[in-house]
Amino acid sequence: MQRRDLLPAMLGFGAAFAAKAAPAVATAGAGSDGTDKGLPQTAAEHLRNLVRMQGSLDEEDVPWWFTGVIFAVAGEGSTPVPLLRFEGMEIYWFRHQPDGYFLGGNTVTFFRDFNTNQYLGQFRNPWTGNTDTVKAAVQGGGLGFKYTERGIWPARYNGEDLGPVPQGPLWVQWHALGDYVWLQHQTVYPPGMPPMHGQRQSMFVPRREFARRNNKRLPAAFTSVVFQGWPRWMNMGDRPGHGRRADAAPARCAGAAALIGPAATTAATACARTRADR
């Protein structure tokens, strides 16, 4: 689903879990003032740990596998209706820069039948009555994000900034409860996106893994809700509506190798190349 395809009719998404292996260590504790000393306290710590959660402090491919359900709301006052399932793979790569990092990546998403979970080549559109040809959503290459202690903002691969550059400091929400640390943050998008377009994401990691400072790539998981336009292949025109997507599953790169469809071989090759289970 391409960003340029977003329409006033909105479709929402929420997604998945992913994991990267890491050795176990002791749990971080809380200080006398009640602040958890294992959580980030400065902009530099927020930046470093956000990169560890989303990717790697080393310049390397970091694959994520995701799955979920798309719910559609076709108009004002409509109840969310399960529309499709989805599954895909995303690869993140953080390039080092003098003031932080540049995040680039590529994503491919396949669509499944909600009831049978079969991969779709065609879809009977309940609103138009047409049988639509289902196309995988492929994104990436050209746009990314700059990550610095000042904040996060969209940019092109050539370094051109898109939209206002924040003046910081970078600050995201961190929480710790029991054996887990998690963060919550809002995705920043380029200018010109529809008003309802957006994503809110929560990421989770075992606290013992988070406490290991020399662990450059955390075994994290995520769940998110994304509001986005109808897929262009549905040919919905300017029909009003909105919705959201929600589901979760354990993520291993091996899951990508089980994908069937036009890009199955490509997905399996990418999985092997990025060595997700090392």
Pick the closest to residue 186 from 197, 178, 176, 198 (CA basis). 198
pTM for the whole thing? 0.74
pLDDT at 114: 94
- Residue 91 within a domain: yes
pLDDT at 230: 81
- Residue 278 within a domain: no
Pick the closest to residue 46 from 204, 159, 185 (CA basis). 185
Instruction: Quote the CA–CA distance of 161 and 268 in Å, as a whole number.
Output: 34
Sign of the torsion angle spanned by Cα atoms 93, 95, 96, 100: negative
Beta strands in the chain (DSSP E): 10-14, 62-73, 81-97, 100-113, 122-124, 131-133, 137-140, 143-148, 151-156, 173-177, 180-186, 198-206, 221-229, 242-245
CA atoms within 13 A on the CB side of 143: 14
Q: Which domain holds residue 35?
A: 3-273
Pick the closest to residue 115 from 124, 106, 107 (CA basis). 124
Q: Within 10 A of 162 (CB to CB), how many other CB atoms are there? A: 18
Instruction: Quote the CA–CA distance of 45 and 181 in Å, as a whole number.
Output: 14
Phi first, then psi: give them for residue 106, nearest 5 degrees.
-140, 145
Distances (CA, A) of 88 to 59, 236, 242: 23, 23, 22
What average pLDDT does range 188-197 have in this prediction? Answer: 68
Instruction: Quote the CA–CA distance of 90 and 103 in Å, as a whole number.
Output: 12
Could you report the per-residue pLDDT of 201-255, keeping only the tens digit for each?
899 999 999 999 999 999 999 888 877 778 888 888 777 654 445 444 333 333 3
- Residue 221 within a domain: yes
pLDDT at 269 over 60: no
Instruction: Quote the CA–CA distance of 278 and 273 in Å, as a whole number.
Output: 11
pLDDT at 76: 73
- Residue 21 within a domain: yes
Task: Show the 3-state SS of 133-162.
Answer: ECCCEEEECCEEEEEECCEEEEEECCCCEC
Specify the range with the lowest mean pLDDT, choosing from 5-19, 68-82, 181-195.
Answer: 5-19
Look at the chain and report how many structural domains it folds into: 1
Instruction: Quote the CA–CA distance of 183 and 171 in Å, as a whole number.
Output: 11
Confidence of residue 141 (pLDDT cuts 50, 70, 90): confident
- Residue 242 within a domain: yes
> Which residues, listed in sequence order, are joined to residue 151 by a DSSP beta bridge?
148
CA atoms within 13 A on the CB side of 164: 3
